A and B are shown apart, each in its own frame.
Chain A
């Protein structure tokens, strides 16, 4: 995809901790996550259900309900150098949609069922870009055309239930792009779609990103998607990032046993007889992360040193790192 540009990162997350106060105790859903998104690049965040991916993405825009969620004070989220943790609700609202946009997993329910799709995209345009009704409608049709909806001029007046899942996700993308954001957060954008439609949507995202030189933060559990569109990858497990690197590094030379486990549990085209190896067990509940290495209970290589907390060890330039004492 896009070449990485030098200079300061567009989004810089440091030591992000998002805890939830629940009846079972404090759920440390996101527990010390750090990553950068550079201008124009695609960063993938991968992990199983319950590892904190979605909480991470929602906390970036301050979309988590507080309480029960709380973002700890020493966390830092900087967008173009501006600190977002503790920013005013007003400031965050200004950023949302304008500079940072988001698309969601479930296109079936992400659109308001009572309005035609054109009205919904138009609402964002009129609010953020101050267009009048007519200009907003024209721009809406142009956007629908840009995201590949055939017959956009007629489709504008359709209600969401008249569209297929893939088309709805295209509408969501058009809505997210309406104000030309610099960063698009895509939370499992293709999970609810058919495989063929998935490929189309990913292609669309890639081409839009190239055309607009927009950065994308892609949250997914699907390594196939990551391999297809991402520049760099952060693998999350139990509220922490366990490995980071470029797509080539992660897929070619995984250093953390969890990353290796994820890759081994994927079917391979080049080795048809290969048996899939699932990772045994499930992610522990976020109220009871294990001490020491959090993957220890499920790790085939667990050994006494794993009982100590593991730090993210630098393995090379450009953010190559893994949270395992065996990694170097």
Chain B
């Protein structure tokens, strides 16, 4: 699209971006970025304006409400500032070769399903952060147990109510926080531990390698679900325990991936060059090997988040995960199980939420795999 036709850039673009961030980018031909910015801006603004009273109350409320209010304000500022900066920037398309990461971003952004997955994940995390402002009711607020139990889809309760007359939509939104948080933190733990141990095993080799990898074999040889159930049955189930256990049982696969990468990387001459320059082993591992081994780890981590969310839902479904009344998708599916025929909405919507989330993570993971693996690049 030519720049002269529409006030997409320059002074006109700036003026437009001040009112409607994202609009100049949308008109300037970058539909994806423009639409995302415009949607984020209008969405956040809508929440802020329609719930101004709640935002004000949230600022002096409990920590999660304050975090939500802060997220809302920060989101507005960031979107507005980005659009303003971008509209005034002289845009020149890069023609020369770019870094590996930029190349990966290009490949990824051409993959529509993966981008869609990424947008869904972004929206899910945004909603999870904003829940105290968005949810119609507090998660554990019970209505009139006589008149408001098992109410179907209605204006007051868009996704109905459960057997305690609680609003399903609100519980679904609050449950998103638990699922996404557990998925993210557990994978962060497993990736950190796995990357470090795998890199050390691969680089040092010998006895250290043998010891670490045999330990990996031991951990992997346990059926994971049985191990989880055993550990959780031994202690009081809590979100902290579930996260820790999920994180500490998943690292072996990351360790194997990283070790394999490092085994081939350490034969490359830049590692020898780093040794010849007198760098210490920790420095070579942390600064030179791990960054080069990150691509497959990122893919595995993304897929791992989806996996962990399913596992957490499964544990909660079995009653070993998040304990009621704290809402989580797994416990909600479990709670609706008994009334599946007369109150179908109880299990259906949390189930769909799980499917949507996991599908998005898997799509993004596949997209990242295509983008980061040069062998698959056409």
Q: List the interface of chain A (C-beta within 8 A of B).
A: 61, 63, 65, 93-98, 101-106, 109-115, 123-124, 127-128, 159, 161-162, 172, 175-176
Inter-chain CA distance A114–B103, complex, in Å, is: 13
Residues of A within 8 A of B272 (CB): 63, 104, 110
Smallest CB separation, B331 vs chain A (Å): 43
Inter-chain CA distance A115–B291, complex, in Å, is: 9
29 A-B residue contacts at CB 8 Å?
Answer: A65-B205, A93-B278, A94-B278, A95-B278, A96-B276, A97-B277, A97-B278, A104-B272, A109-B269, A109-B270, A110-B269, A110-B272, A110-B273, A111-B270, A112-B270, A112-B274, A112-B288, A112-B292, A113-B100, A113-B292, A114-B291, A123-B287, A127-B278, A127-B279, A128-B277, A162-B96, A172-B273, A175-B273, A176-B277
Residues of A within 8 A of B100 (CB): 113-114, 159, 161
Q: Once the chains bind, are B97 and A104 in contact (CB under 8 Å)? A: no
Residues of A within 8 A of B278 (CB): 93-98, 127-128
Q: Which residue of A lies closest to B268 (CB)?
A: A109
Chain B 30-64 per-residue mask, 1 if CB under 8 angstroms from chain A, else 0: 00000000000000000000000000000000000
Residues of A within 8 A of B288 (CB): 112
Inter-chain CA distance A107–B25, complex, in Å, is: 42
Q: Once the chains bind, are A93 and B280 in contact (CB under 8 Å)? A: yes
Q: Say which residue of A95, A106, A159 sits within 8 Å of B269 (CB atoms).
A: A106
Q: Is B275 an interface residue (CB 8 A)?
A: yes
Q: Once the chains bind, are B292 and A114 in contact (CB under 8 Å)? A: yes
Inter-chain CA distance A113–B276, complex, in Å, is: 18
Smallest CB separation, A59 vs chain B (Å): 12
Residues of A within 8 A of B291 (CB): 112, 114-115
Residues of B within 8 A of A102 (CB): 273, 276
Q: Once the chains bind, are A101 and B279 in contact (CB under 8 Å)? A: no
Smallest CB separation, B219 vs chain A (Å): 28
Q: Is B154 an interface residue (CB 8 A)?
A: no
Q: Is B95 an interface residue (CB 8 A)?
A: no
Residues of A within 8 A of B287 (CB): 123
Q: Once the chains bind, are B268 and A101 in contact (CB under 8 Å)? A: no
Q: Which residue of B lies closest to A108 (CB)?
A: B269
Q: In the complex, given contacts A102-B273, A102-B276, A110-B269, what are 6 additional A-B residue pairs having Cβ atoms less than 8 angstroms apart?
A: A61-B276, A93-B278, A113-B292, A124-B277, A159-B100, A162-B97
A96-B277 contact in complex given A113-B292, A114-B100, A123-B287, C-beta closer than 8 Å: yes
Inter-chain CA distance A97–B100, complex, in Å, is: 29
Smallest CB separation, B333 vs chain A (Å): 43
Q: Once the chains bind, are B277 and A104 in contact (CB under 8 Å)? A: no
Q: Once the chains bind, are B277 and A175 in contact (CB under 8 Å)? A: yes
- For A61, A65, A113, the residue with the greatest tally of chain B CB atoms inside 10 Å of its CB is A113
- For A112, A175, A176, the residue with the greatest tally of chain B CB atoms inside 10 Å of its CB is A112
- For A96, A98, A101, A114, the residue with the greatest tally of chain B CB atoms inside 10 Å of its CB is A114
Q: Once the chains bind, are A96 and B269 in contact (CB under 8 Å)? A: no
Q: Is B99 an interface residue (CB 8 A)?
A: yes
Inter-chain CA distance A308–B372, complex, in Å, is: 60
Q: Which residue of B lies closest to A161 (CB)?
A: B97
Smallest CB separation, A252 vs chain B (Å): 35
Inter-chain CA distance A98–B278, complex, in Å, is: 8
Q: Which residue of B lies closest to A104 (CB)?
A: B269
Q: Which residue of A lies closest to B291 (CB)?
A: A114
Residues of B within 8 A of A162 (CB): 96-97
Residues of B within 8 A of A161 (CB): 97, 100
